[in-house]
């Protein structure tokens, strides 16, 4: 096939010989033909210069300024030639994605739900909740270690088995001491379970060389009057005063049915109260702030009994990282993303596929 024939095929102006190219014009074929057409229209001297500049930059590892000096070109010209080398197909970038990395899923989630970031971890179809939590915890640990800023104020939810798995997987960070770590959901409850909330906050604080600010109250209290009275306590008031300063919130995403850890803590509503939430359309929660399938807040009298960060305060946090996965939580995770309850999600690949 001649150069002229290739160009006509790329434009779709005439058929071609079946033995040379498939009649099914796939995107990569058209792209290659278009690049070839561009090259055939360029002087050989320009093509040679493009190839030379690209080789020096990508294969020899030279800086653009060094190439400019060697070839007596301006740095702006080198930059333009490298861009042109991409456009003409002289340079093609191939990403060798490892089998347990899901970059395309992460990108699709980020775009669909307008997230800052998404992290998708591998898991097996028959993994149970605990195994998924461990995998999510390892991914969350690395995310925190790699992205924790200098002047962060960290909000940490209580009663999350996934956050506990994150803490178990973390390494001590070499950073300046004093980062505030604020409990954003009441950490008191059944003494046999409260140790988990205390361990979560204390261990995380030590790992980031922070200063713990506890919310020494149950997550659910008997009445609005009890809640109002507790907020007058100076220690509880101190924690609540930090809610508006949080820059990074690490939270679980709960389904309407409470997790085993939350149930053991005693920070749950009765069966009748959960039925009321269900009848009002609730499908999940973040810090016991419930929402419906569309992500909108479900407001009931039960809200007045919750000791946690308020919905409006959470929305103002720059990074809200939701760490959750598993079949039981999929509807809740989707709703949380739709409602903007989190803007970073760390989840498993089967849940990610469900969300798309």
**pLDDT (tens digit, 9 = 90+) per residue, 280-336?**
999 999 999 999 999 999 988 888 999 999 999 999 999 999 999 999 999 999 999
| Residue 200 backbone dihedrals phi, psi, to 5 degrees | -60, -50
Q: Partners of 255 in the beta sheet?
A: 284
The model's pTM:
0.77
Q: How confident is the model at residue 267 (pLDDT cuts 50, 70, 90)?
A: low
- Give the single-character DSSP code of 316: T
Q: Does residue 17 register a pLDDT over 50?
A: no
**pLDDT (tens digit, 9 = 90+) per residue, 95-106?**
666 767 888 999
Domain residue ranges of the chain, discontinuous segments joined by +: 3-88, 103-355
The percentage of residues in the chain with a pLDDT greater than 70, rounded to a whole number, is 81
Q: For position 86, what pLDDT does the model report?
A: 85
Tokens of 115: 């997230």
Q: Does domain 103-355 have CATH number 3.50.50.60?
A: no
Q: How confident is the model at residue 269 (pLDDT cuts 50, 70, 90)?
A: confident
Q: How confident is the model at residue 177 (pLDDT cuts 50, 70, 90)?
A: very high
Within 10 Å of residue 41's Cβ, how many Cβ atoms?
A: 10
Q: Does domain 3-88 have CATH number 3.40.50.620?
A: no
CA dihedral 115, 120, 126, 128 (to 10 degrees): -70
Whole-number Å distance between alpha carbons of 311 and 326: 24
- Stretch among 36-50, 231-245, 296-310 having the lowest mean pLDDT: 36-50
Q: Average of pLDDT values for 43-54?
A: 80
Q: Average of pLDDT values for 44-55?
A: 82
């Amino acid at each position: 096939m001649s150069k002229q024939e290739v160009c006509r095929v790329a434009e779709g102006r005439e058929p071609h010989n079946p033995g040379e190219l498939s009649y099914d014009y796939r995107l990569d074929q058209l792209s290659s033909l278009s690049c070839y057409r561009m090259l055939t229209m360029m002087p050989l001297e320009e093509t040679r210069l493009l190839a030379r500049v690209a080789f020096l930059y990508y294969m020899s590892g030279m800086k653009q300024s060094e190439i400019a000096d060697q070839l007596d070109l301006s740095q702006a010209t080198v930059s333009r030639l490298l861009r042109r080398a991409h456009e003409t197909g002289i340079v093609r970038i191939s990403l060798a994605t490892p089998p347990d990395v899901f970059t395309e899923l992460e990108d699709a989630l980020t775009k669909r739900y307008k997230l800052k970031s998404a992290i998708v971890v591998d898991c097996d179809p028959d993994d149970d909740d605990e195994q998924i939590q461990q995998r999510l915890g390892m991914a969350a640990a690395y995310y925190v270690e790699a992205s924790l800023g200098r002047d962060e104020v960290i909000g940490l939810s209580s009663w999350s088995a996934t956050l506990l798995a994150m803490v178990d997987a973390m390494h001590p960070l070499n950073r300046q001491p004093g980062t505030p770590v604020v409990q954003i959901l009441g950490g008191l409850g059944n003494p046999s379970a409260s140790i988990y909330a205390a361990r979560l906050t204390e261990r995380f604080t030590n790992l980031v060389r922070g200063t713990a600010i506890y919310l020494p109250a149950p997550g659910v209290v008997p009445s609005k009057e009890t809640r109002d009275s507790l907020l007058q306590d100076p220690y509880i008031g101190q924690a609540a005063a930090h809610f508006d300063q949080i820059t990074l919130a690490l939270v679980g995403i709960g389904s309407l049915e409470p997790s085993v850890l939350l149930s053991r803590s005693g920070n749950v509503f009765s069966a009748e109260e959960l039925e009321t939430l269900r009848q009002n359309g609730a499908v999940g929660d973040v810090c016991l702030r419930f929402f419906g399938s569309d992500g909108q807040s479900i407001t009931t009298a039960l809200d007045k009994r919750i000791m946690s960060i308020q919905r409006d305060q959470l929305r103002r946090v720059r990074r809200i990282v939701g760490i959750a996965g598993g079949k039981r939580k999929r509807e809740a995770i989707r709703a949380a993303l739709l409602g903007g309850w989190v803007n970073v999600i760390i989840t498993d690949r089967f849940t990610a596929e469900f969300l798309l």
